[in-house]
Amino acid sequence: MGLRTFVLRIVALSACAIFAALPAAAQKNDKSKLGNFPIASLFFETDTRGAQFGVVDSRMEETATATVFFGIIGGAINSGINADEDAKKAAPFVEAASKIQFAPIMDERISATLAAKSYVLAEGEKAASHALKIEIKEWGLTRTAFDDPRLTPFIRLHAVMKGGKKVVWDTYLKDSAGRSGLLPEFTSEILVQEIEALAAKMGERIAYEIIYR
């Protein structure tokens, strides 16, 4: 081992000591948790324009198999094949999925839960001290686990709350329904029923995040 390598190793080993010597000045800019600040009045809206429906099943297998056996190129090809397979699995549900109205379900549940705790809800953004925007990002059916072929309905959303122009909460929430089963066990009716119940549950969850912040 040369002198240079030796010195470099000592420097690298000293990283721990450097950690200790520096002041632990935490940058508390984590907005994923809602702080306990007063909310005089809240305006909220649910935006579904970017919501994407899909089935996430075949894609769950790609990283563990194709990438290992065929390398990155094989993995990329397999990813395309799996995405196509998932699109085919989603096709029978697309028509029913397009009719689901997330916004009224979630808004009603958020309003009711907050109102029950005497929260002041504003009619418009300008009249509110805080404004919450909920964007539905992805939803549909996903595997319950990487190695479990059963599927479960899920919704993933993005919630951003602002106090004036300042972002005070910025988080992604994902939840799945209690029901799980193999793809043939899901009909359009079951999917709609489960997703609507899940949307209501997530609306309630957002309200409770605000109440118990």
Partner 1 sequence: MLKIIAAALAGLSLTACAMGTTNISLAKAPIARPALLAEAPSRMVAITQITDSRDETMRDRIGDKRNGYGMVMGKIGTTEPVPDVVKKVLTDTFTANKHKVVTDAAGANVKVDAEITKFWFDYKVGLVTVEFFADAQVRMSVKDANNAEIFKHDFKGYASEKTAGGLSDVWTRVMDAALADLSREISLSTDLKAALEKANQNLAAAAGQPAS
Of the candidates 2, 4, 22, 165, which one interacts with partner 1 according to CB under 8 A?
22
- Yes or no: say if 53 and 142 are a contact pair by the CB < 8 Å rule: no
Total residues contacting partner 1 by CB under 8 A comes to 33
Distance from the first to the final alpha carbon of the chain: 56
User: Tokens 């409770």 belong to which residue?
Assistant: 208
Torsion of CA 199, 130, 162, 171, to 10 degrees: -30
* d(C-alpha 109, C-alpha 134), whole Å: 13
Burial class (CB in 10 A: 0-12, 13-18, 19+), 86: buried
User: Tokens 């489960």 belong to which residue?
Assistant: 194
72 touches partner 1 by CB under 8 A: no
**Stretch binding partner 1 (CB under 8 A), from 6-14, 71-79, 132-140, 154-162:** 6-14
Nearest residue (CB) to partner 1, 15 versus 72: 15
24 touches partner 1 by CB under 8 A: yes
209 touches partner 1 by CB under 8 A: yes
30 touches partner 1 by CB under 8 A: yes
Kindly identify the residues of this chain, within the stretch 147-186, that bind partner 1 according to CB under 8 A: 178
Nearest residue (CB) to partner 1, 55 versus 198: 198
Q: List contacts with partner 1 (CB under 8 A).
A: 3, 6-7, 9-30, 33, 178, 201, 204-205, 208-209, 212
